[in-house]
């Protein structure tokens, strides 16, 4: 069914070339710009639309799985690691309570504690705004007073 399309160098992509910048986070754009990954402008969008029309709706999970596996096979290892880092950073920013249990499971308790200790967290300066707020809170311990005037 897709042999003639495959021979034309089909590269499946859901990005709209005119709005690509709006669709990708800035960090992903940097990765794409650094590597020799085909950009949307190099894709025959008419051919992409024909393929979309040919794929039965209920088969998209299989198409997605095969497409991702094949795209990953072609990515340089450095790009894969960088994209994985970006994904994990984004995930853990949204789920901060998951990172330590995941580190314990993946690296082990001793290694995790060693990594955290090596960061010397007590020597990282507190951001200026937070420090000022804490200082303000420490100096303003007086009870509220109402001016009788």
For 69-112, how does the pLDDT look when each residue is reduced to its tens digit (9 = 90+)?
A: 998 899 899 999 999 999 999 999 999 999 999 999 999 999 99
For 16-75, how does the pLDDT look when each residue is reduced to its tens digit (9 = 90+)?
A: 444 444 555 555 556 556 555 555 568 888 898 999 999 999 999 999 999 989 988 998
Give me the pLDDT at residue 132, please. 79
**Structural domain of residue 60, as residue ranges?**
1-75
Task: Flag whether 109 is in a domain.
Answer: no
**Contact status, residue 11 vs residue 3, Cβ threshold 8 Å:** no
Q: Where are the alpha helices (DSSP H) in 35-127?
A: 45-54, 60-74, 77-94, 99-107, 109-118
Task: Flag whether 33 is in a domain.
Answer: yes
Cα-Cα-Cα-Cα torsion 120, 123, 128, 133, nearest 10 degrees, comes to 90
If you search the block for the tokens 């669709």, which residue do you land on? Answer: 23
Question: The pTM is what?
Answer: 0.48
Task: Flag whether 3 is in a domain.
Answer: yes
Give me the pLDDT at residue 105, please. 95
Task: Flag whether 7 is in a domain.
Answer: yes
Task: Flag whether 61 is in a domain.
Answer: yes
Q: What is the DSSP letter of 55?
A: S
Task: Flag whether 43 is in a domain.
Answer: yes
Structural domain count of the chain = 1
Task: Flag whether 69 is in a domain.
Answer: yes
Cα-Cα-Cα-Cα torsion 117, 123, 127, 129, nearest 10 degrees, comes to 120
Task: Flag whether 8 is in a domain.
Answer: yes
Backbone angles phi, psi at 10, to 5 degrees: -60, 135
Above 90 in pLDDT, residue 125?
A: no
Output the furthest CA–CA distance in the chain (Å, rounded): 88
């Amino acid at each position: 069914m897709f042999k003639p399309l495959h021979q034309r160098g089909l590269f499946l992509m859901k990005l709209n070339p005119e709005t690509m910048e709006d669709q990708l986070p800035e960090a992903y754009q940097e990765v794409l710009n650094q590597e020799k990954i085909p950009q949307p402008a190099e894709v025959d969008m008419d051919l992409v639309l024909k393929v979309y029309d040919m794929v039965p709706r209920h088969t998209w999970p299989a198409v997605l799985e095969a497409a991702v596996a094949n795209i990953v096979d072609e990515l340089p290892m450095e790009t894969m690691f960088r994209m994985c880092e970006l994904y994990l950073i984004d995930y853990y920013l949204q789920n901060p309570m998951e990172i330590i249990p995941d580190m314990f499971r993946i690296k082990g308790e001793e290694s995790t504690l060693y990594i955290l200790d090596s960061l010397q967290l007590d020597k990282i300066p507190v951001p200026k705004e937070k420090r000022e707020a804490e200082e303000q809170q420490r100096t303003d311990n007086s009870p509220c007073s109402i001016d009788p005037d």
